[in-house]
Amino acid sequence: MEQSTCDLSDAYGEQARVLPPLFRNFGGKRRFQGPVVTVKCFEDNSRVKELVGTLGEGRVLVVDGGGSQRYALMGDMLAQQALGHGWAGVVIFGCVRDTAVLETLDLGIRALGVTPRRSLKNGEGQVNVPLEIAGTRCNPGDMLFADEDGVLLIDPAVLAAKKG
């Protein structure tokens, strides 16, 4: 990552939407960035499983699990699939599990916490819909930047205008 989230926040001000400092790092990669693909699901990781089985091409999967801490929306098997398919990272407004394995993977993984309970699998969830995570808007296609200081999102049109 070329610029830190602090530098990006300074440069883009309110155009850089910062996720609240609720997310803990669980992956072996602390710094990651990429265009966002969104999933909205509640305690059911069916859509997450589908997406990590597709080519990530450096994108970041942002999962709005409603903040539930009852079920894990990602564990070691899905994280390994995401890594193998070229996803840059995953940000989950919910929980993960298998953390001893997750921390060994060269994948960015942020989540609220940990639970040993696996997710429901009822085929529910929506893909590539706008999300509101803890009061912060997250749109499909936004650029997400994550490092030791936090996670922020910037509209790609704003990035292009600033560079131009």
Q: Is 76 annotated as a binding residue?
A: yes
Whether residue 13 is annotated as binding a ligand: the answer is: no
User: Is 94 marked as binding a ligand?
Assistant: no
22 is in an annotated binding site: no
Is the separation of the CB atoms in 113 and 56 below 8 Å? no
Work out whether strand 32-40 and strand 143-147 pair parallel, antiparallel, or are unpaired.
antiparallel
Q: How far apart are CA 158 and CA 162, in angstroms?
A: 6
142 is in an annotated binding site: no
SS3 at position 42: coil
What's the Cα-to-Cα distance from 52 to each of 46, 85, 156, rounded to whole Å?
10, 7, 23
Radius of gyration of the chain (CA): 15
Query: Rounded to 5 degrees, what are φ and ψ at 122?
Result: -110, 10
- DSSP classification of residue 120: B
Q: How far is CA 114 from CA 65, 69, 84, 96, 120, in A?
A: 13, 7, 23, 5, 16
Assess contact for 71 and 117: CB atoms under 8 A.
yes
1 is in an annotated binding site: no
Binding annotation: 75-78, 97-98
Binding annotation for Mg(2+): 98
Binding annotation for substrate: 75-78, 97
